[in-house]
Structure 1
Amino acid sequence: MSQPESTSQEQLPAWVESSLFKGMLRGIERETLRMQSDGFLSQESHPKALGSALTHPHITTDYSEALMEFITPPKASIQETLDYLTDIHTVAHQHLENEEKLWPLSMPCMLDDTDDSIRLAQYGTSNIGLFKTLYRRGLGVRYGRRMQTISGVHYNLSFPDQLFEALQNNETDEKLKALSAQDYRSHRYLGLIRNFIRLTPLVIFLVGASPSVCKCFMTGREHHLLPLLKGTLYLPFATALRMGRFGYQNSAQKQLGIHYNNLPDYLSGLQKAVKTSYKPFSRLGLNDANGEPLQINDHVLQIENEYYSLVRPKQVPKDGETPSEALANRGIGYVELRAVDVNPYSPIGIDENTAGFLEVLALYCLLTDSPELLEQEQDVIEKNQTEVVNRGRAPNASIVENGQAHFIEDWSRTYLNNMQVFAELLDDAYQTQIYSNALQLMQARVDEVDETLSAKMIADTLEHGGTWSFGSHLALQHAEAYEKHKLSKTTSAYFKEIAQASLEKQEQLEQDTTQSFEEFLAQFR
């Protein structure tokens, strides 16, 4: 095993000042299942007091009716974002019915033997609402409903215009200097994305938190997991099974050849996928025996959102725009980092250390060289990812980079050292210690593998006697934290108003629906 070389510049160029990073925005999307008091997945509808899952800007549902998604608006600091997310959790907790709790783990709570009890999310009777439910029905027939009960955290991040202007002004390549501001920004964000993909094993190792699963999750599936204790399966050195073959994986998508080397190619690859039939999905049929639609279409992707990726380029769509059209029209506006497990020890699924680490990592990915990412390297990255998912904490776990194998601790340590200067810049920009503290904590996890979230979870699962007992213990602790958190009168009033407004908006959409869903779907198809 060789020692990885430091890849950071000895020092950043003189023109890079901390003031360039002021104006970064970040937002968080956190998923969590509603769990019944007996530990099983909730069978209740989305609480009406929380508003309409179709039109509420902050509290919605993902795949199943019981899988809640909490969305913060973009905020100017990590603390503001976490505070907002805490408010959302508190509001949601206040309106849970029948002693339900929010399940704290990425991998699901107890599921029945059949998928029938995993209710599809319902969005009302408007065509757009029925379309959203049909999309989820299609996911269920394609991949099974169990896969869709997994929760994650998505971290959205944008950098300020002045940073891109300074970067472009200091380019030595005349072609890059000649790009429009929009195209140059997209070019740099794609560089960030490629580097983030290369360093995803680092994210999985440091913040992975799904080393084990409830046995019920694997019902009817072949697997190589081992019994940890009754009712819980695991791998001895696993970090994030959510990110492996039992999580969001799609073999059809691997054949797409979607790359992040330039925006037009990325978009054309995505468009090809939403317009190309795929035989295994064609065989499922478009409608069931009763003539009810089973999936939107038989294409590789029903819609663009079905593309499961570690990181996504994003732009806020205007009314009537698809995500691809928004990107084509206005370029990349921010990135969505998606390789993040729910931190079960945090009542809101993420803490300031993970947030600080992700922002330092993203800045590092943005400002360091990022050559094109081609098939051969992609294959190596996927093998690295599999290694870290299944054996990341093993004494001989290794990462391959530039044809050389490195022990994962050496490899991780090298990158964390390279990132130190970026953490200091962000600390200076925001007059904080969050970023340096975050790297220090991640370094401690590299130095002592038992400090990783995945190692702690295995120890605590054993101590509590299984996944359900451990998860229930944390769910109860988190419920107490929500109850102690006092909402301001303004915040309470805002969430009450927005819930009512969302219900009215859904009702209006339903009243305005004149076309039958059959016609609407036929037109889309």
Structure 2
Amino acid sequence: MLPDVTNALRWLQQQPQLLSGIGRGIERESLRIRADGSLSEQGHPTALGSALTHDWIITDFAESLMEFVTPVDRDIPHLLTFLRDLHRYVIKNLGDERLWPFSIPGNITDTETIALADYGKSNLGQMKHIYRQGLKHRYGSLMQVISGIHYNFSLPTAFWEAKALANNDTRPLQDIASDGYLHLIRNYYRYGWIIPYLFGASPAVCESFLGHNPVVDTMESDGQGARWFPYATSLRLSDLGYTNKSQSGLAISFNSLEEYVAGLKQAIATPSADYEKMGLFDAQQQRIQLNTNVLQIENELYAPIRPKRVIRRGEAPSDALKRGGIEYIEVRSLDINPFSATGISEEQVRFLDTFLIWCALIESPPMDQEQLHFVKSNWNTVIMQGRKPGLRLKGECGQRDYSLKDAASVLFDGLASIAEILDHNSDGPYQSTCRQLRNMISDPELTYSGKILNIIKQEGFIGSGVTLAENYRQSLLQEPLEILTEDIFVEKAAESFAEQQNIEAADTLSFEEYLASRNG
């Protein structure tokens, strides 16, 4: 079923300080809405700076799809307060607009009203905009305005040094860390279904989101526009949500950094017959996609977790990894937490720390594509039926099926040992978090999906979203900034506009020349 972490913990139990320098960062996406829940059609507010160059407040696919980005932080309360300050300042500059509290968008009947993010006239800005044109033509705008949380996580250098010493590994530290993060990623694929089970918060959608999809007839309804599957946890992660069937044939390996980079580079060089039919230009000779390959750029690869390194300007993510190895991992399978004004809670952060360390410590055999496909089926089971009584998951490599409840209990036994180390062997917040979340195993109605579905059944999908959005708006408006100041935000906005102007002024190539130079 699940491996025992006891032996792997022995060297760490003697050195709990090795976990004191964990690096964390949060990226929270959220749609701007009007008071009635409809999508904002206003551009990105000027007071918030340039969406191209601002460090903390940017846009994602659409002008109305905001993204809040924290710097790397090694203190959880400080991280979450910083994120809340970003929300406090933004809300004060949105006029009568709110932030939608769900991952799945509300009532959008005309997707042409979704304005793609505008990043100015520089070649870089145009490339980002045309990339989004490609996403629109390939997958549709509705899928692209689904929101989520990305959690960036890195273990301290001292952790990898001590682990190497315990294993008599004398390779360069960069290689040890890269292999360690890939070890973690493989286990995240194997056991990460626990994330949508606990924190999936999109069991329901608005009927307008489904369009003419025949699946609508198989879903339960309140007769007022809300549709749901009774035991679903995260429709955002399902085939109804943020998925890409054209990528299903990509052979991306997580067994070594060399294999991962090679697979990624092959994907961005592989032609797609479907995208070739779309062409590169519309009738007015305006570009509608960057290229006709399976991936326009590497960021188009959809995955629940990614290995990352901070890139230099103009550098591809895979080239950054090749240059310096894996620096951190990005967890991408978190729904927006509708019970938090900032979309994520402290209990989620502490659980993720504990779970990711567990993934880094337990055995992690290499995975071929067949095994990777196999473990994804367990994710799909939990995504669609996670709260179903008696739910069973498939055993890997010919092992027998096992119950989700039993597996989760074994998992939490291991997490409790890691939480004790994180709390420095005294009863602290990590152990308290594990105890609280463990209750969700015996009572699935305590999960985020269970709780939000009960609210949606009572208040409707749009109604509950509007109520939460307004409640959070009022709370944030009344709260003072704690870490940042208004002067800092004003200065940051001015700096971002100046940087955008510098980028535009520095362009010497036409856009087509610029694009060719990047592809060359």
Give yes or no for TM over 0.5.
Answer: yes
1:330 alignment counterpart: 324
Paired residues in the alignment total 514
Instruction: Tell me if structure 1 keeps the 8 A contact 2:5–2:361.
Output: no
- Pair 1:92–1:21, CA change in 2 (3 A): same
2:69 alignment counterpart: 71
Shift of 1:200: 1.7
Give secondary structure in 1 for the equivalent of 2:394. Answer: strand
Is 1:202 the counterpart of 2:194 in the alignment?
A: yes
Greater displacement, 261-270 / 247-256: 247-256
Q: What is the letter of the counterpart of residue 226 of structure 1?
A: M
Note the alpha carbon deviations across 1:42-75, whole angstroms, 9 max, x for none: 1000000000000000000011111000000011
Shift of 1:15: 5.3
C-alpha separation in 2, matches of 1:131 and 1:315: 21
- Pair 1:490–1:274, CA change in 2 (3 A): closer
2:298 alignment counterpart: 304
Q: Paired residue for 2:225, among 218, 224, 231?
A: 231
Give secondary structure in 2 for the equivalent of 1:30. Answer: strand
Q: Paired residue for 1:401, among 392, 395, 399?
A: 395
Instruction: Tell me if structure 1 keeps the 8 A contact 2:201–2:234.
Output: yes
C-alpha separation in 2, matches of 1:83 and 1:296: 38
Give secondary structure in 1 for the equivalent of 2:470. Answer: helix
TM-score, structure 1 length as denominator? 0.95
Instruction: Tell me if structure 2 keeps the 8 A contact 1:209–1:342.
Output: yes
2:104 alignment counterpart: 107
Instruction: Tell me if structure 2 keeps the 8 A contact 1:353–1:437.
Output: no
Is 1:140 the counterpart of 2:136 in the alignment?
A: yes
C-alpha separation in 1, matches of 2:488 and 2:251: 45
Note the alpha carbon deviations across 1:84-132, whole angstroms, 9 max, x for none: 10000111101103x11000001112212x3211111111111110110
Is 1:263 the counterpart of 2:257 in the alignment?
A: yes
Give secondary structure in 1 for the equivalent of 2:388. Answer: coil
User: Percent identity of the aligned residues?
Assistant: 36
C-alpha separation in 2, matches of 1:261 and 1:179: 17
Shift of 1:9: 2.3
Shift of 1:77: 1.5
C-alpha separation in 2, matches of 1:67 and 1:127: 22
- Pair 1:287–1:438, CA change in 2 (3 A): same
Give RMSD over aligned pairs.
Answer: 1.6
Give secondary structure in 1 for the equivalent of 2:10. Answer: coil
Q: Paired residue for 1:486, among 477, 480, 486?
A: 480
C-alpha separation in 2, matches of 1:203 and 1:15: 25
Q: Paired residue for 2:126, among 130, 137, 142?
A: 130
Instruction: Tell me if structure 2 keeps the 8 A contact 1:42–1:66.
Output: yes
Is 1:243 the counterpart of 2:252 in the alignment?
A: no
1:519 alignment counterpart: 513
C-alpha separation in 1, matches of 2:279 and 2:482: 51
C-alpha separation in 2, matches of 1:24 and 1:312: 18
Is 1:452 the counterpart of 2:447 in the alignment?
A: yes
C-alpha separation in 1, matches of 2:245 and 2:484: 48
- Pair 1:392–1:161, CA change in 2 (3 A): same
C-alpha separation in 1, matches of 2:453 and 2:2: 33
C-alpha separation in 2, matches of 1:146 and 1:48: 25
Shift of 1:476: 0.8
Is 1:413 the counterpart of 2:406 in the alignment?
A: no
Unmatched 5+ residue regions in structure 2? none
Q: What is the letter of the counterpart of residue 208 of structure 1?
A: G
1:438 alignment counterpart: 433
Q: What is the letter of the counterpart of residue 71 of structure 2?
A: P
Is 1:96 the counterpart of 2:94 in the alignment?
A: yes
Shift of 1:523: 4.1
Instruction: Tell me if structure 2 keeps the 8 A contact 1:288–1:294.
Output: yes
2:339 alignment counterpart: 345
C-alpha separation in 1, matches of 2:31 and 2:508: 34
Give secondary structure in 2 for the equivalent of 1:13. Answer: helix
1:164-175 equivalences under 5 Å are 164-172=160-168
Instruction: Tell me if structure 1 keeps the 8 A contact 2:119–2:126.
Output: yes
- Pair 1:244–1:59, CA change in 2 (3 A): same
Q: Paired residue for 1:118, among 114, 118, 129?
A: 114
C-alpha separation in 1, matches of 2:346 and 2:428: 11
1:53 alignment counterpart: 51
- Pair 1:15–1:115, CA change in 2 (3 A): closer
Shift of 1:520: 2.5
Unmatched 5+ residue regions in structure 1? none
Note the alpha carbon deviations across 1:441-465, whole angstroms, 9 max, x for none: 220111111101101111101221x
Give secondary structure in 1 for the equivalent of 2:221. Answer: strand
Instruction: Tell me if structure 2 keeps the 8 A contact 1:29–1:155.
Output: yes
1:321 alignment counterpart: 315
Instruction: Tell me if structure 2 keeps the 8 A contact 1:6–1:418.
Output: no
C-alpha separation in 1, matches of 2:356 and 2:174: 19
2:177 alignment counterpart: 185
C-alpha separation in 1, matches of 2:22 and 2:200: 25
TM-score, structure 2 length as denominator? 0.96
Shift of 1:511: 2.5
C-alpha separation in 2, matches of 1:75 and 1:27: 6
Q: Paired residue for 2:150, among 148, 154, 158?
A: 154
C-alpha separation in 2, matches of 1:497 and 1:103: 27
